[in-house]
Amino acid sequence: MSYTAVNPYTGQKIRSFENVTDQQLEMLLDQAQDFYEKAQRRSVEERTEFLNEFADEFENNTEKYARILSTNMGKLISEARQEVAKTVSFARYYAKNGVRLLKPQPYNDLSSGQAQVEFSGIGIVLAVEPWNFPYAQVMRVFAPNFVLGDPVILKHASIVPEAALAFQEACDNAGLPLGAFTNIFASYDQIDHIIEDPRVQGVALTGSEGAGRKIAASAGKNLTKSTLELGGTDVFVVLDDVDVGAAAKDAAKARLTNAGQVCTAAKRYIVSAEIYPDFLAALRDEFVKYHLGDPLDEKTTLAPLSSKSAQKQLQEQVEKVIAGGAKVLFGDPTPNKGKGAGFSPLILSGMDESNLMYEEELFGPVAQIYQAHSDNEVVKIANNSRHGLGGAIYTKDVERGKKIASRIETGQVTINQILSSQSEVPFGGVKDSGYGRELSDWGIYEFANIKPVIY
């Protein structure tokens, strides 16, 4: 496997990197274990201070870190800066709340005696991360585990090696202890070997269902705790009482940000039949505003896909969707001819269960649209999916929105706002979208030893 950065807009190769050798890997695992053993005897405060220094390093060098995202995976430079800011916010959240979250909790209401629940690390955590948010996804795992004293070993997506190294550099520049965070360019076999190592006590994977099944199987075989953050087919519900223009603007943004490569992107619009024609017209008016261009150009509104292979895969999926009976309501479904990984936005309708692609995640700027004649039908369409990641509901009647939100089988739902992760709120999925939670108080306990001392 080759860790190679290729600019997805120009198609030009930037740089390749050597894989770690088995010997180096052993030494890095020893180093991580050494950090773990020392960290369990040191204060949480010390680590929260380091996290703030890491956040300062990222914040003070936003432009440098942001440009790497644009050149490695094609993110628009404005969105890349937002990702740097979000990464900083995740670090600051755990820096601010880490001591409180790990403070021993008294449990006095026992049938006999009293208890104090203590929190500590469990060992090395392996993070296997995707390219779509190359810093933010890593920080979601790193910050809470670092505060716990769990060393994190990162296996990043092979197309964003410079982003992986930049994260490592930020840790080093912030003076984090050796072994606290270790990026490795490893093969899949080496990843299996790491999971087999008894010092490795946790595996966090964010990525596709295929990778999730593989990594979870390895973890299960070794009785290693795992969390999986996988894909979704999230709905964006537009009820009959909305301001159609405003909802269409958010709907387009929720589908086309990051060239549609967001796990919680609005992949299925469900629109009240009464406003369907007006909404569709407004949505088309929004989609035409997105133009493919150089992600480093401030004026570009649509990024390329992350790689030529992502472009090829999405093109094949779209062809199958159309062959299965879907209609193209907006856009040109023929392959993009440029040298980069551009993909034209599409709006498709007419998907039903007979379409072989009905439940597949389309990871790019391709939306599906459905009509619903009642709130019950909204819920039925939304839940007719093996995924359960997120969703959004637009309505002037927030109470009506909350009732629908409660019935949608996903890990999170927003009302009148685009779904986006926040430090303070747990994030994760149900069904085939995975298990476990990242961020907030819940995220720090995934790889913690939650230990009552009863007396």
Between CA 40 and CA 156 the distance in angstroms is 26
Among positions 389-408, residues that touch ligand NAP (CB under 6 A) are 389
**Is residue 211 part of the contact set for ligand NAP (CB under 6 A)?**
yes
The answer to whether 231 contacts ligand NAP (rule: CB under 6 A) is yes
Stretch that binds ligand NAP, among 27-35, 48-56, 131-139, 342-350 (CB under 6 A): 131-139
Q: Does 7 bind ligand NAP (CB under 6 A)?
A: no
The reply on whether position 158 binds ligand NAP by CB under 6 A is yes
What single letter denotes the amino acid at residue 238? Answer: V
Q: Which residues contact 113 (CB under 8 A, 6 or more apart)?
A: 454, 455
Find the shortest distance in angstroms from Cβ 263 to ligand NAP: 3
Q: Nearest distance from residue 172's CB to ligand NAP, in Å?
A: 21
Number of residues that bind ligand NAP (CB under 6 A): 29
Taking the C-alpha atoms of residue 268 and residue 263, their distance in angstroms, rounded to an integer, is 13
Exposure string for 41-77, b = 16+ CB within 10 A, e = fewer: eeebeebbebbbbbbbbbbeebeebbbbbbbbbbbbb
The encoded tokens of residue 380 equal 């039925």
3-state percent helix, strand, coil for the chain, nearest multiple of 5? 45, 20, 35
Site string for ligand NAP, 317-356 (x = CB under 6 A): ----------------------------------------
* Ranges within 434-453 binding ligand NAP (CB under 6 A): 434
Q: Is 188 in the site for ligand NAP (CB under 6 A)?
A: yes
Among 47, 155, 267, 437, binds ligand NAP (CB under 6 A): 155
CA quadruple 343, 257, 139, 417: dihedral positive or negative?
negative
Of 5-13, 59-67, 201-209, 351-359, the segment contacting ligand NAP by CB under 6 A is: 201-209
Q: How far is the CB of 441 from ligand NAP (least distance, A)?
A: 18
If the CB atoms of residues 168 and 371 are measured against ligand NAP, the closer one turns out to be 168
Question: Does the protein bind ligand NAP through residue 263 (CB under 6 A)?
Answer: yes
Q: Is 128 in the site for ligand NAP (CB under 6 A)?
A: yes
90-117 residues labelled b (16+ CB within 10 A) or e (exposed): bbbbbbebbeebbeeeeeeeeeeeebee
**Has 229 been annotated as catalytic?**
yes
Angle CA 438–149–428, to nearest 5: 5
Pairing of strands 434-435, 13-17: unpaired
Question: What region does 13 belong to: left with phi over 0, alpha with psi -120 to 50, or beta?
Answer: beta
Q: Is 263 a catalytic residue?
A: yes
User: How many other C-beta atoms are found inside a 10 Å radius of the C-beta of residue 222?
Assistant: 16
Determine which one of 57, 83, 162, 229 is catalytic. Answer: 229
Question: What residues line the site for ligand NAP (CB under 6 A)?
Answer: 1, 128-132, 137, 155-158, 188, 191, 206-208, 211, 214-215, 229-232, 263, 361, 363, 389, 429, 434
